[in-house]
Amino acid sequence: MASAWLLPEHIADVLPSQARRIEELRRDLLDMARTYGCELVMPPMLEHLDSLLSGTGQALDLMTFKLVDQLSGRSLGLRADTTPQVARIDAHLLNREGVTRLCYCGPVLHTRAEGLTATREPLQFGVEIYGHAGLEADLEVQELALDALHRAGLTDFTLDLGDARLVRGVLGDHRLSEERLAVLVEAMGAKDAGGVASFAGELPASVIDGLQTLLGLYGDVGLLAQARERLPRHPLITAALDDLDWLVRHLRATHPELRIGLDLADLPGYAYYSGVRFALYAQGCSDAVLRGGRYDEVGAVFGRRRPAVGFSLDLKTLVGLIPATQLRAAVRAPWGVAPDLRAAVRRLREQGETVVCVLPGHEHENDEFECDRELVNTSGQWVLRAL
3-state secondary structure 159-198: EEEEECHHHHHHHCCCCCCHHHHHHHHHHHHCCCHHHHHH
Each of the 387 residues of the chain gets a pLDDT tens digit; together they read 557 788 999 999 999 889 999 999 999 999 999 999 999 999 999 999 988 887 655 678 889 999 999 999 999 999 999 998 999 999 888 988 899 999 999 999 999 998 888 899 999 999 999 999 999 999 999 999 999 999 998 988 899 999 999 999 999 988 888 888 888 888 988 899 999 999 988 899 999 999 999 999 999 999 999 999 999 999 999 999 999 999 999 999 999 999 999 999 887 777 778 899 999 998 877 789 999 999 987 777 777 788 999 999 999 999 988 887 777 889 999 999 999 999 999 999 999 999 999 999 887 776 668 889 999 999 999 999 998
Number of neighbours of residue 81 by Cβ within 10 angstroms: 22
- Cα-Cα-Cα-Cα torsion 76, 81, 86, 91, nearest 10 degrees, comes to -60
Could you tell me which residues are beta bridge partners of residue 278?
A: 161, 292
pLDDT score for 55: 60
Number of neighbours of residue 380 by Cβ within 10 angstroms: 6
pLDDT score for 57: 59
Of 84, 42, 40, 39, the C-alpha closest to 59 is 84
pLDDT score for 4: 77
Distance CA 317, CA 281 (A): 12
pLDDT score for 225: 93
Give the total residue count for the chain: 387
CA 282-128-31 angle, to 5 degrees, is 70
CB 57 within 8 A of CB 272: yes
What's the first-to-final CA gap in the chain, in angstroms? Answer: 45
- Would you say the pTM of this structure is higher than 0.85? yes
Handedness of CA 326, 331, 336, 338 (dihedral sign): negative
Amino acid identity, position 161: L
Distance CA 333, CA 11 (A): 37
pLDDT score for 245: 96
Distance CA 230, CA 288 (A): 28
DSSP 265-316: T--TTTTT--SEEEEEEETT-SS-SEEEEE-TTTTGGGT----EEEEEEEHH
pLDDT score for 169: 92
Of 347, 317, 383, the C-alpha closest to 25 is 317
